[in-house]
Chain A
Amino acid sequence: MFYLCLAFSLVWICHLAYLLAIDRQVRQMGRRMKARADAPPGPGVG
């Protein structure tokens, strides 16, 4: 029973952690795109 719980927990934690990591990257990219759109034209926006 212990090993069964360990395996299922590991799978769900890995899937959710990876989903959350990608979700964070999507939000970060959205913020960068918005900053770029809001900024005046020209270099210096990062």
Chain B
Amino acid sequence: MRRWFMALSIVMLILSTWLGLTKGQIVPIQRNILYVHVPNSIGALLGFAALLLASVGYLVTERQIYDWIAAASAEVGTVLASILNATGMIFSRAEWNVWWTPSPRLISSALLWFLYVVYLILRTSLPGSRRRRARICAVFGIIAFLDVPMVYISARFIPDIHRPDFSFESSWQTLALVLGIAGTIALAGVLIWLRADLLRRRFELENQLHN
């Protein structure tokens, strides 16, 4: 099941890349970076939304599964957020000739990345019991999510170099972007599933060894 999802997501990403660079090419050429930048930004934000839901789930029910999902979502979200920031910087350099500019969306995106890196560091370095660590991380995960709406709305309400809306000239371009978004979300979902399952197995193995 997981392998099928993974294969499907990779096929969608390859198709999106191919369509984006051939039939759905945007002019000037550097704007085709959009086909990888936008899907990864949506994937990162959904990863952090999954972290928020899992953190709330853990605080309400104290079931261990939610803690594993939160850890997996944070890790996958951070990978996608790193890609989001890196491709954003490359696009900025190609389009506006600067690697970085202090615009609201760029600052909120960088802050988001730092918050989730701190979350991952907290998970590995907090002393005390597993339960205490999970509770503190869940609270931090909920607070860190407050930056996600800032990333989304910053370009809509504050003057920014980012254009909040863009339109495509052909349906191939729309298809390439939709495939990219669907492929990235599917890949992120499978990775979260795989990582959470790994954490569960490690927990079970450690329990077996201690009993």
| A→B interface (CB under 8 Å) | 1, 3-4, 6-8, 10-11, 14-15, 18-19, 22, 25-26, 29, 32-33, 36, 43, 45-46
Kindly state whether residue B40 has any CB partner on chain A within 8 Å.
yes
Q: With a CB–CB cut-off of 8 A, which chain B residues contact A43?
A: 209
Kindly state whether residue B94 has any CB partner on chain A within 8 Å.
yes
Q: With a CB–CB cut-off of 8 A, which chain B residues contact A25?
A: 198
Query: Chain A's nearest CB lies how many Å from the CB of B202?
Result: 7
> In the complex, what distance in Å separates the CA atom of A1 from the CA atom of B142?
40
Query: Chain B's nearest CB lies how many Å from the CB of A3?
Result: 4
| B contacts with A: majority SS | helix
Interface residues of B, count at CB 8 A: 30
A4 lies within 8 A of B79 (CB)? no
Kindly state whether residue B123 has any CB partner on chain A within 8 Å.
no
A3 lies within 8 A of B83 (CB)? no
Q: With a CB–CB cut-off of 8 A, which chain A residues contact B33?
A: 3-4, 7-8
Contacting A22 at CB < 8 Å: which of B87, B91, B191?
A: B191
Q: With a CB–CB cut-off of 8 A, which chain A residues contact B187?
A: 15
A7 lies within 8 A of B90 (CB)? yes
> In the complex, what distance in Å separates the CA atom of A32 from the CA atom of B36?
37
> In the complex, what distance in Å separates the CA atom of A36 from the CA atom of B93?
52
A45 lies within 8 A of B83 (CB)? no
**Nearest residue in B to A23 (C-beta to C-beta)?**
B194
Contacting B209 at CB < 8 Å: which of A1, A29, A45?
A: A45
